[in-house]
Chain A
Amino acid sequence: MDTSGGGGHKKGPGVKKGKKLSTRVDLTPMVDLGFLLITFFIFTTTMSQPTAMRLFLPKDVKDPNEQNKVKNSAVITLMLGKNDVIYYYEGDSAQTLKPTDFKKIRDIVIDKKRRTDPKDFVVVIKPTVDATYKNTVNILDEMTIDGVKRYAMVDISPVEYNFIKLTETANGVK
């Protein structure tokens, strides 16, 4: 590569020979920086797009004969309580509820799913008034993660809420 920046004529003997500096600059760091910024912009543009989770609401059915019937043994009910606690019970024995949290709920749901007939398996989600919006969205997301095909969000009954309250007092939750 020619690094002598142009000008090919010889200088006379009397002229002091100045050291010729190359006009070429190493552009590698500049290219590095350029691509770094490009990657940054590519990532920020795609990342800032919020996603949306689709939800379908069921129709309210007044007639009890038309309501979906589920086998008691195939149901697991998750109740979202205060301070990110989930209370869950299987079947219809609400008094046997156990507290758990969002980390452990996956194993519980998966375990129940393994033990039940896939066509009967239903998860019932009952958020209490103490639950946050985040809890609700997270538990719905958890259903997607665990591949639960049938789940329903139902209002909590006063009896169940009472059980939660009792458990909370027993465990000293304020």
Chain B
Amino acid sequence: MGRAKLPRKSTNIDMTAMCDVAFLLLSFFILATKFKPPEALSVITPSSVSTKVAPEKDVVLVTIDKDAKVYLSVSDANMAEKKAMIDEINTSKNLNLTDAQKNNFIRIPNAYIGAPFSQLRSYLDKTPEQLQNVVKPGIPAVDSTNNEMIDWFKAAANAFEGKRMNVLVKGDDAAKYPSFQGVIIALKKNDLMKFQVVTSPVPPPLGSELYNMQQKLGTKAVE
């Protein structure tokens, strides 16, 4: 018959090239993944529908742990600001901190303050490993007459003058409200009207107003 004979082609494809690409990408992602540094304070954050990623630069982080204790830390890159802060607190509160004690806050990555001014000296004598094992008193913030967060925020605002300071509040699910209230009061006293609450993201519930709005706007994030 006049039918042209088609040469039979094999269905096997050479997978080597694809495999190469796959593993190239894999190694890229493994190397590009930034592993979370082991956090000194473990906090389970509440979830929110917010889609904005928390900033990482120029951060003043207030952590509220599950026992509603308040801690303060500054992002590691801002060493000059850290120094300015601790110096200001040192002078205004007459703490007589030594340089070694100050450096414990300035130089050590992920260092945080978790003690009232009266105990700051002995607190800063401890190494991070020692701090892991002791019960930290936290910064007093609940009592309206003795809200030390006011002084800390004041020092932070002065240290970050001319820069955009990002105040982040990272609280634990189980923390009681008064600590958070104390932090808000301290922020207000210093005219720091903008702050951000660290949350873990969840999509907006189906059928809610926000969901409908996002659908209308396409996939664009709604603040």
Q: Does A pair with B?
A: yes
A interface residues (Cβ-Cβ under 8 A, vs B): 1, 26-28, 30-31, 34-35, 37-38, 41-42, 44-45, 48-60, 80, 106, 110, 127-138, 140-141, 144-147, 153, 155
Q: Contact residues of B with A, CB < 8 Å?
A: 10, 12, 15-16, 18-19, 22-23, 25-26, 29-30, 32-34, 36, 45-55, 64, 68, 168, 171-181, 184, 187-188, 192-201, 204-205, 208-211, 213, 223
Contact of A145 among B55, B68, B195, B208 (CB under 8 A): B208
**What distance in Å separates the Cβ of A24 from its nearest Cβ neighbour in chain B?**
8
**A34 CB contact (under 8 Å) in B23, B46, B51, B174:** B23
Whether A45 pairs with B33 at a CB distance below 8 angstroms is: yes
Are the C-beta atoms of B205 and A41 separated by less than 8 Å? no
Are B174 and A132 in contact (CB-based, < 8 A)? yes
Contacts of A1 in B (CB 8 A): 10, 12
Q: Which of these, B23, B49, B188, B195, contacts A60 with CB under 8 Å? A: B188
Q: Are B213 and A137 in contact (CB under 8 A)?
A: no
Flag if A57 contacts B171 (CB, 8 Å): no
A-B contact pairs, 23 of them (CB 8 A): A27-B16, A27-B19, A31-B22, A45-B33, A51-B52, A52-B53, A52-B54, A52-B55, A52-B199, A57-B195, A128-B177, A129-B176, A132-B173, A133-B46, A133-B172, A134-B46, A134-B175, A138-B46, A144-B48, A145-B204, A145-B209, A147-B210, A153-B184
State whether B198 touches A28 (Cβ < 8 A). no
Chain B residues closer than 8 Å to A31, beta-carbon distance: 15, 18-19, 22
Enumerate chain B residues within 8 angstroms of A30, measured Cβ to Cβ.
Answer: 15, 19, 22
Closest to B24 in A: A34
* B29 nearest in chain A by CB position: A41
Q: How far is the CB of B70 from chain A (nearest CB, A)?
A: 11
Tell me whether A38 and B22 are in contact (CB under 8 A). Answer: yes
- Contact yes or no, A136 B177, CB < 8 A: yes
Given A52-B53, A57-B193, answer yes or no on A127-B181 (Cβ-Cβ < 8 Å).
yes
Question: Contacts A34-B25, A50-B45, A52-B198 given; 5 further ones with Cβ under 8 A?
Answer: A34-B26, A45-B34, A52-B52, A129-B177, A145-B49
Known: A27-B19, A49-B53, A51-B52. A132 touches B176 (CB 8 A): yes
Check A52 against B181 for contact (C-beta < 8 Å). Answer: no
Task: Select from chain B the residue with minimum beta-carbon distance to A33.
Answer: B22
> Measured between alpha carbons, how far is A1 from B188 in the docked complex, in Å?
75
| Bound-complex Cα distance A53 to B222 (A) | 12
B212 to chain A, nearest CB (A): 9
How far apart are B182's CB and chain A's nearest CB, in angstroms?
Answer: 11
Complex contact A133–B50 (CB within 8 A) = no
Q: Which residues of B contact A54 (CB under 8 A)?
A: 50, 52, 194-197, 223
CB of A41 within 8 A of CB of B30, answer yes
Give min CB distance, A50 to chain B, whole Å.
Answer: 5
Instruction: Say whether B46 contacts A49, CB under 8 Å.
Output: no
Q: Is the CB of B199 within 8 A of A51?
A: yes
Question: In the complex the two chains form, is B208's CB within 8 Å of A146's CB?
Answer: yes
> With the chains together, A80 CA to B30 CA distance in Å?
44
Question: Do A51 and B50 contact each other (CB < 8 Å), given the known contacts A45-B29, A136-B180, A137-B199?
Answer: yes
Question: Given A27-B18, A52-B197, does the pair A145, B205 have CB atoms closer than 8 Å?
Answer: yes
